[in-house]
Amino acid sequence: MALPKVGSIGEYIREQRQQAKISLRQLSAAAGVSNPYLSQIERGLRKPSAEILNQIAKGLRISSQALYVQAGLIEDREPPSDVVATIRADTLLTERQRQVLIDIYESFRKEHLAGDEQTSQNAHPQRDPETDDERPLPPELLAALEPYAASAGNGTVNQETKEG
Amino acid sequence: MALPKVGSIGEYIREQRQQAKISLRQLSAAAGVSNPYLSQIERGLRKPSAEILNQIAKGLRISSQALYVQAGLIEDREPPSDVVATIRADTLLTERQRQVLIDIYESFRKEHLAGDEQTSQNAHPQRDPETDDERPLPPELLAALEPYAASAGNGTVNQETKEG
DNA sequence: CCACTCTGTTTGCATTTGCAAGCACGGTGC
DNA sequence: GCACCGTGCTTGCAAATGCAAACAGAGTGG
């Protein structure tokens, strides 16, 4: 029953704090959170919000992302290549553009490596958040490419045009 | 509005959702949050916790980190890494694939900078999909994307995967 | 005209966050 | 003896999160 099974986040904070050799109150002051709340967080009785986590990370002088990963709020999955990581880190693109580039890149790699193998299970227009990893290009990617492809004149892009 | 760019997490979510062309309820189901709450989040009436943010990021299939940065929860000031150099260094791609990726990347950057320079897109509470001035990609680039774009509307995945 | 379905929104409420105040314990010095 | 530090922990309580249900419009079609 809703026992905050954030697990190691509290222990992780406590470890970091003890390694820094500062007291709970010191960290609470540095992080700008109350000491009782920090106490409860460290013992796993409370599940802090992202803001509190961020402040604690600041107070501990550790990376916010490391804390989010510990909290399970960021998937720390290994990027499949340096290209993907680099694209992801590029703040000059929109998120959609990033996704398009990464998807294209991965499609290219699959094509280049496998050459023949392909998956033909992308029939539904609805996305399934759980079961898509092998598709060539997702529908929303094509939707994102659509405005660019509009001037090509090849006519391959056929959309419902429900609203526009 | 001084610089409320990082504060408008809700607008960012709404933009991403509308770009993905899914309804609020669809996203709420995919993200596992209630639709009224998502509505309030998008309009800035509620400040979602990190968990909710993470679920929304999953539902949108965008990077959680990008969302946290948008929410101002991560001071992520990573330098604009050189995507082009990384693509060029990738030996798992063919030269032609590399060129296509680089072309797309540079087109995206031009478009992103041009679109961001005069007005940010959060001026209107609702975007009109037709008023986007997005520049088309070069024709040879679209030709390279053709086999992937085949699954847009006709459902026939015509993927020759032949690049020679 | 009415039923049905989709869109996003509002309302009321259980649950939770996060804090101020206070508690219990241990070590100092006077 | 006992005031005075420090440590972390417990207790209420205002405020916020997040949800279920109901609401208001716009299409669509019987």
Q: Is the pLDDT of residue B150 over 50?
A: no
Q: Is the pLDDT of residue A82 over 60?
A: yes
Q: Is the pLDDT of residue B11 over 80?
A: yes
Q: Is residue B18 part of a domain?
A: yes
A46 and A86 in a common domain = no
B102 and B132 in a common domain = yes
Q: Is residue B134 part of a domain?
A: yes
More confident residue, B49 or B143: B49
Q: What is the mean pLDDT of residues B139-146?
A: 50
Which alpha helices (DSSP H) does chain B contain, by range?
9-19, 24-31, 35-42, 50-60, 64-70, 83-88, 95-118, 139-149
Looking at chain A, how many residues does it have? 164
Mention every residue, 6+ apart, whose C-beta is less than 8 A from residue B162.
Answer: none
Name the percent of chain A in helix, strand, coil, to the closest 5.
50, 0, 50
Give a three-class secondary structure readout of B58-103. HHHCCCHHHHHHHCCCCCCCCCCCCHHHHHHCCCCCCHHHHHHHHH
Q: How far is CA A157 from the centre of its chain?
A: 30
Q: Report chain A's mean pLDDT, rounded to a whole number.
A: 65
B98 and B63 in a common domain = no
Amino acid at B46: R
More confident residue, A163 or B13: B13
| Residue where one domain finishes, among candidates B38, B70, B102 | B70
Q: Is residue B75 part of a domain?
A: no
- Report which DSSP code applies to B131: G
Which of the nucleotides in strand C have any atom less than 7 Å away from a protein CB atom? Answer: 6-11, 15-22
Lowest mean pLDDT among A111-125, A147-161, B110-124: A147-161
Distance A37 CA to D11 C1' (A): 12
CA distance B134 to A60: 44
A130 and A105 in a common domain = yes
CA distance B86 to A84: 9
* Residue in B78, B145, B163 nearest the CB of A145: B145
Q: Is residue A128 part of a domain?
A: yes
| Both tokens assigned to A24 | 């709970």
Could you tell me the pLDDT band of residue A117, with boundaries at 50, 70 and 90? very low
Distance B17 CA to C5 C1' (A): 21
Q: Which of residues 1-60 of A touch strand C (CB under 7 A)?
A: 2, 4, 32-37, 46-49, 51-52
Residue-level pLDDT at B3:
29
Q: Is residue A3 part of a domain?
A: no
Q: Sign of torsion, CA B31 A95 B145 B96?
A: negative
Backbone phi, psi, residue A46, to 5°:
-130, 150
Mention every residue, 6+ apart, whose C-beta is less than 8 A from residue B121.
Answer: B15, B115, B127
More confident residue, B97 or B51: B51
> In total, how many domains does chain B have?
2
> Taking Cα atoms as reference points, which of A12, A43, A10, A16 lies closest to residue A30?
A16
Could you tell me the pLDDT band of residue A124, with boundaries at 50, 70 and 90? very low
Q: Does A159 contact B136 at a Cβ distance shorter than 8 Å?
A: no
Q: Is the pLDDT of residue B82 over 80?
A: no
More confident residue, B7 or B90: B90
Q: What confidence tens digit (pLDDT) does each residue in B98-121 have?
A: 777 887 888 777 666 555 443 333
Q: How far is CA B110 from CA B100, B104, B133, B135, B146, in A?
A: 15, 10, 12, 9, 22
Residues A147 and B132: beta-carbon distance below 8 Å: yes
Q: Is residue A163 part of a domain?
A: no
Q: Is the pLDDT of residue A72 over 60?
A: yes
Residues A81 and A88: beta-carbon distance below 8 Å: no
A65 and A86 in a common domain = no
CA distance B142 to B147: 10
A contact test, residue of B55, B97, B126 with most A CBs within 10 A: B97
CA distance B150 to B145: 9
Q: What is the mean pLDDT of residues B71-87?
A: 65
Highest average pLDDT, of A35-49, A61-75, A106-120, comes from A35-49
Q: Which domain holds residue B112?
A: 83-149
Q: Is the pLDDT of residue A6 over 80?
A: no
The CA distance from B139 to the nearest CA of chain A, in Å, is 6
Planar angle of CA B67, B85, A148, nearest 5 degrees: 60
B63 and B30 in a common domain = yes
B66 and B88 in a common domain = no
Q: Is residue A2 part of a domain?
A: no
Q: Is residue B48 part of a domain?
A: yes
Mention every residue, 6+ apart, whose C-beta is less than 8 A from residue B34.
Answer: B28
Residue-level pLDDT at A118:
33
B13 and chain A in contact, CB less than 8 A: no
B contact test, residue of A91, A116, A119, A135 with most B CBs within 10 A: A91
Looking at chain B, how many residues does it have? 164
A137 and A88 in a common domain = yes
Q: Report chain B's mean pLDDT, rounded to a whole number.
A: 66
A110 and A143 in a common domain = yes
ipTM passes above 0.90:
no
| Both tokens assigned to B90 | 């990738």
A124 and A66 in a common domain = no
B114 and chain A in contact, CB less than 8 A: no
